[in-house]
A and B are shown apart, each in its own frame.
Chain A
Amino acid sequence: MDFTVLAKGIALAGCGIGAGLSLIAGIGPGIGEGRAAAAAVESIARQPEASADIRSTLILGVALAETTGIYGFVTGLLLIFVAPGLFLGKL
């Protein structure tokens, strides 16, 4: 029996499920950056003169915390667009 089509189907299904699972990593930066923004709002309310400083520190911290979310996103993109070509080329 020729299982090639079934094997290709399973490989593609694995890529799809993996891409969906890898984007669960988006939860982390969402929660963390929300908390950072809350702390920034509170400290601006306490000391409005420092608001320019607080704003740039907030942006810096947000871009750093965004890293792991971007890791998950790029992994998902690779699984959808690059992995099928790689895996199916070997089948």
Chain B
Amino acid sequence: MEINLHGSWYITILKDTPLGDIHITMTMIIGWVVLLVLSTICFILGHNLKVHNISKRQAAAEYIVEALNKFVRGNMGNQFDKYIPFIGAMFATAIFSNLISLFGVWSPTADLNTELGWAMIAFVLITYYKIKSQGMGGYLKGYLQPLAPMLPINIISELATPVSMACRHFGNILSGMVINTLIYAALGLASSALLGLIPEIGVWLGAHIPIFEIGIPAFLSLYFDWFSGLIQPFIFCTLTCMFIKQASEAD
């Protein structure tokens, strides 16, 4: 039973720079594919818009925009309308990156770097709003509340926010990928054991035609790819919205 679990494939384009080796990873390549697909969809949905006699394509685009507006305004109130495109872009990128693994390619969210990037953007936004609402002095003094020795605990809990947001998403997607690989290996073993019983060509058949791999992994993929892949971006964006709202109205 050969299980092939690996990180992202990469090629090294520059060796021994001051920053180490520079790689181009599969995560980046599939990330560009997701970028192109999303840009194409946005262009198709958003060009040639009319005020009256709208087409079905424009109705679909308006439905998406209204759902996004309702989602962001429900979580953040009405004063953060400038972040609706940002949250929409993050949501769409996360959903497409999760679901692209259904096509048999490596999904970029199975690499922790992707989620850490999104979480760092959210962290910068949250810190900016905290400083804006409390002033720099109030923000730094907030680390010493309620007692001065609480400083390390407060720093850790501040850093735990983006790390836990990233790890939650990453852990769900990674566990789906690992369990799918293990299930495929086990089903391949079972089908080669069954087909090996045929006298002459059994061994070759068992290695090349894994009959048990048809259909059974689809039920697991319903939970790990569809359910998990759609809920986790929703949670990531909801948490980003709630933390920004909470940071901007502290005190």
Instruction: Give the CA-CA distance A77 to B238 in the complex, in Å.
Output: 28
**Is A64 within 8 A of B175, CB to CB?**
no
- Given the known inter-chain contacts A63-B231, A63-B232, please indicate yes or no for A73 contacting B5, CB distance below 8 A: no
Instruction: Give the CA-CA distance A70 to B171 in the complex, in Å.
Output: 6
On chain B, the residues within 8 Å of A60 by CB distance are 234-235, 238
- Given the known inter-chain contacts A67-B164, A81-B5, please indicate yes or no for A73 contacting B171, CB distance below 8 A: yes
Interface string of A50-78 (1 = CB under 8 A from B): 00000000011001101100110110010
Instruction: Give the CA-CA distance A59 to B223 in the complex, in Å.
Output: 13
Residue in chain A with minimal CB distance to B228: A63
Q: Say if the beta carbon of B203 comes within 8 Å of chain A.
A: no
Q: What total of chain A residues lie within 8 Å of the partner, measured CB to CB?
A: 12
**Is A74 within 8 A of B167, CB to CB?**
yes
Q: Say if the beta carbon of B144 comes within 8 Å of chain A.
A: no
Q: Say if the beta carbon of B172 comes within 8 Å of chain A.
A: yes
On chain B, the residues within 8 Å of A74 by CB distance are 167, 170-171, 174-175
**Is A73 within 8 A of B238, CB to CB?**
no
Q: Per a CB cutoff under 8 Å, which of B164, B175, B232, B235 touches A73?
A: B175
Main secondary structure of the interface of B (DSSP, over half): helix
Q: Per a CB cutoff under 8 Å, which of A63, A71, A81 touches B235?
A: A63
On chain B, the residues within 8 Å of A73 by CB distance are 171, 175
On chain A, the residues within 8 Å of B193 by CB distance are none
Interface string of B100-143 (1 = CB under 8 A from A): 00000000000000000000000000000000000000000000
**Is B164 within 8 A of A77, CB to CB?**
no
On chain A, the residues within 8 Å of B238 by CB distance are 60
Interface string of A15-27 (1 = CB under 8 A from B): 0000000000000
Instruction: Give the CA-CA distance A70 to B238 in the complex, in Å.
Output: 19
Interface string of B213-251 (1 = CB under 8 A from A): 000000000000000000110110010000000000000
Residue numbers of B with Cβ under 8 A of A are: 5, 164, 167-168, 170-172, 174-175, 178, 231-232, 234-235, 238
Apart from A63-B232, A66-B172, A70-B167, what are 18 other A-B pairs with CB-CB below 8 Å? Answer: A59-B231, A60-B234, A63-B235, A64-B168, A64-B235, A67-B164, A67-B167, A67-B168, A67-B171, A70-B168, A70-B171, A70-B172, A70-B175, A71-B171, A73-B171, A74-B171, A77-B174, A81-B178
- Name 9 A/B residue pairs within 8 A (Cβ), A-sorted: A60-B234, A66-B168, A67-B164, A70-B167, A70-B172, A71-B171, A73-B171, A74-B175, A77-B174
